[in-house]
């Protein structure tokens, strides 16, 4: 035990001595530095034909006919602006200090360099080795294969701080002025459209619809707008594969995608394009021309991926985008409210419960001075309509209508050409829920207590009027 302890102490002393020796050696050599500005590389960036470096991995790019290509695989789409920027930064490298008498490259971290850079032109090749950073001044030691060690700005390492996938030209996600249709193929087909004043349903307050063959089901405006935004206003996170072969797609969950999203949109016009469109005779066609954007999403190993439908480039995406695509359904996007009606369009209301039918006439519907009359007597009915508007669909309960007893029925007669009659019927289901049926088609479960409260409010108004008579 004592021997082991003694050995540990000796090793500690040796480490300290070694570090001290290196520090002293470096100081000793730094005393022999000359402060002469030297151009390590001084060329026109346009003359560079090849760039290579080994940040994280070895990468190399060649320039042919003015275009950068990944030397190992021409299928890779290279970010031309990024490579031009790197070339520009590496075309001018200067040093303000130089070690003229180099005794040991290890003193400067150059016996095993952190990084290396190759810059080639048609006439010359520059090999740059990058060593340690100085203790101060924000500089690094570099060598270029001669007998000297140079100091240059440590930002040089930033110029090559790119992996291969960092250099991939990411495909554009277009800016969309408006979206007219969005289709999602997940476990089902969710075909949605946006259209104002469509006449597709009883209320023009709805602008988003689920298209089923030639029929349209209204969707919740806020929910669907949010889904449209999630699926169109996103960005690729990182490039995961610059060219995934069909056999490789399974590793990203894209051999059989969890969902495919197709968007029909009108693109945002650039300022110049807007001016051109304004002066063109065909401006209407130019501004209204729609385009399609389509992509697929998948998941593997707790990571979410996507690619354009007709592309081999794979990206990572956020879970939010993935979830929006995979979870889209009518059940997720259907309205919360049982009925959304513009009361200003209502001229009269028929109310049926307990085997009786009551008619309420409406003047100035939807306005503050709206007048509701029953049997020629003015009644307080505005609060009842507000109460009706607050009844919401229960998301956690489904039921099919059978021989259920009718609880309350309301028929709204409107001053509109389309959907001039809207009927809402509540049926008894169980002690907790009623079934609502809108225009004989839309069937949902609602809280029974809210229906009972509505019925009691209606009954109270009618009974009070009858009593007064």
Q: What is the pLDDT of residues 430-459, one digit of tens each?
A: 989 999 999 998 888 999 999 999 999 999
Q: What is the pLDDT of residues 353-367, one digit of tens each?
A: 988 999 999 998 777
At residue 200, does pLDDT exceed 50?
yes
Structure-model confidence comparison of residues 105 and 234, the more confident one:
234
pLDDT interval class at 317 (50, 70, 90) = very high
How far from each other are the two terminal CA atoms of the chain, in whole angstroms?
A: 110
At residue 210, does pLDDT exceed 70?
yes
Q: What is the pLDDT of residue 254?
A: 98
Two structure tokens written together for 66 = 């003015």
Whole-number percent of the chain with pLDDT over 70: 88
Q: Nearest 5°: phi and psi at 202?
A: -65, -20
Structure-model confidence comparison of residues 278 and 415, the more confident one:
415
Whole-number percent of the chain with pLDDT over 90: 67
Structure-model confidence comparison of residues 394 and 274, the more confident one:
394
Q: What is the pLDDT of residue 33?
A: 66
At residue 276, does pLDDT exceed 60?
no
At residue 65, does pLDDT exceed 70?
yes
At residue 31, does pLDDT exceed 90?
no
Residues linked to residue 151 through DSSP beta bridges, in sequence order: 97, 141
Nearest to 297 by CA among 277, 272, 324, 266: 324
Q: What is the pLDDT of residue 443?
A: 86
Structure-model confidence comparison of residues 277 and 207, the more confident one:
207
Q: What is the pLDDT of residue 76?
A: 98
Q: What is the pLDDT of residue 371?
A: 93
The pLDDT mean for the chain works out to 87
At residue 25, does pLDDT exceed 70?
no
DSSP state of 168: B
Two structure tokens written together for 342 = 């513009």
> Residue 306: CB partners within 8 Å, gap ≥ 6?
236, 295, 296, 297, 298, 314, 315, 316, 317, 321, 322
Query: Which single residue is written with the structure tokens 């009925």?
Result: 339
Which of 77-81, 315-319, 351-355 shows the lowest per-residue confidence on average (mean pLDDT)? 351-355
Q: What is the pLDDT of residue 466?
A: 56
Residues linked to residue 161 through DSSP beta bridges, in sequence order: none
Q: 244-247: long-range contacts (C-beta < 8 A, 24 or more apart)? A: 244/307, 244/312, 244/313, 244/314, 245/312
Q: Nearest 5°: phi and psi at 149?
A: -120, 130
Q: Are 129 and 138 in contact (CB under 8 A)?
A: no
Distances (CA, A) of 389 to 208, 359, 392, 393, 397: 19, 19, 8, 11, 20
The torsion angle over the Cα atoms of residues 354, 356, 361 and 365, rounded to 10 degrees, is 20
pLDDT interval class at 137 (50, 70, 90) = confident
Q: What is the CATH number of domain 176-333?
A: 2.60.40
Q: What is the pLDDT of residues 387-428, one digit of tens each?
A: 999 999 987 777 788 889 999 999 999 998 888 999 999 999
Q: What is the pLDDT of residues 139-198, one digit of tens each?
A: 999 999 888 899 999 999 999 999 999 999 999 999 999 999 999 999 999 999 999 988
pLDDT interval class at 297 (50, 70, 90) = very high
Which of 59-63, 248-252, 440-444 shows the lowest per-residue confidence on average (mean pLDDT)? 440-444
At residue 98, does pLDDT exceed 90?
no
Which of 125-139, 249-263, 445-459 shows the lowest per-residue confidence on average (mean pLDDT)? 125-139
Q: What is the pLDDT of residue 95?
A: 92
Structure-model confidence comparison of residues 328 and 1, the more confident one:
328
Rounded CA-CA distance 221/192 in Å is 12
Q: What is the pLDDT of residue 288?
A: 62
pLDDT interval class at 135 (50, 70, 90) = confident
Residue 53: strand, helix, or coil: strand
Distances (CA, A) of 188 to 191, 306, 329: 10, 19, 8
């Amino acid at each position: 035990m004592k021997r082991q302890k003694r050995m540990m102490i000796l090793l500690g002393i040796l480490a300290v001595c070694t570090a001290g020796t290196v520090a002293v050696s470096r100081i000793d050599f730094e005393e022999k530095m000359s402060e002469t500005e030297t151009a390590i590389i001084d060329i026109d960036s346009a003359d560079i034909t090849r760039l290579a470096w080994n940040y994280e991995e070895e990468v190399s790019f060649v320039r042919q006919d003015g275009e950068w290509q990944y030397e190992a695989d021409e299928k890779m789409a290279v970010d031309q602006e990024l490579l031009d920027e790197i070339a520009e930064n590496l075309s001018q490298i200067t040093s303000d200090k130089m070690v003229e008498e180099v005794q040991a490259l290890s003193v400067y971290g150059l016996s095993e360099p952190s990084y290396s850079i190759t810059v080639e032109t048609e006439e010359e090749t520059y090999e740059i080795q990058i060593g340690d950073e100085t203790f101060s001044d924000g500089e690094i030691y570099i060598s270029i294969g001669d007998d000297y060690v140079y100091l240059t700005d440590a930002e040089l390492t930033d110029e090559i701080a790119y992996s291969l996938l960092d250099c991939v030209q990411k495909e554009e996600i277009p800016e969309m002025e408006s979206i007219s249709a969005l289709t999602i193929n997940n476990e089902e087909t969710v075909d949605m459209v946006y259209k104002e004043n469509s006449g597709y349903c009883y209320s023009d307050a709805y602008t988003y619809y689920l298209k089923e063959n030639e029929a349209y089901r209204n969707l919740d405006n806020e929910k669907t707008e949010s889904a449209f935004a999630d699926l169109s206003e996103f960005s690729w996170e990182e490039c995961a594969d610059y060219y995934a072969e069909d056999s490789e797609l399974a590793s990203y969950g894209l051999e059989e995608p969890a969902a495919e999203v197709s968007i029909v949109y009108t693109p945002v016009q650039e300022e110049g394009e807007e001016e051109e469109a304004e002066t063109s005779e065909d401006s209407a066609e130019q501004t209204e021309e729609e385009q399609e954007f389509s992509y697929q999403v998948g998941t593997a190993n707790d990571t979410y991926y996507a690619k354009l439908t007709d592309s081999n480039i794979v990206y990572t995406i956020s879970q939010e985008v993935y979830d929006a695509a995979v979870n889209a359904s009518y059940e997720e996007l259907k309205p919360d409210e049982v009925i959304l009606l513009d009361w200003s369009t209502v001229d009269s209301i028929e109310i049926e419960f307990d085997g009786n039918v009551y008619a309420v006439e409406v003047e100035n519907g939807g306005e503050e001075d709206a007048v509701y009359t029953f049997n020629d007597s003015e009644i307080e009915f505005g609060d009842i309509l507000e109460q009706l508007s607050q009844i919401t669909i229960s998301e956690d309960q489904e039921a099919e209508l059978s021989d259920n007893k009718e609880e309350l029925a309301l028929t709204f007669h409107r001053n509109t050409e389309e959907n001039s009659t809207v009927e809402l019927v509540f049926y008894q289901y169980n002690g907790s829920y009623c079934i609502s049926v809108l225009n004989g088609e839309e069937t949902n479960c609602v809280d029974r207590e809210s229906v009972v409260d509505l019925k009691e409010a209606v009954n109270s108004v009618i009974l009070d009027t009858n009593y007064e008579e």
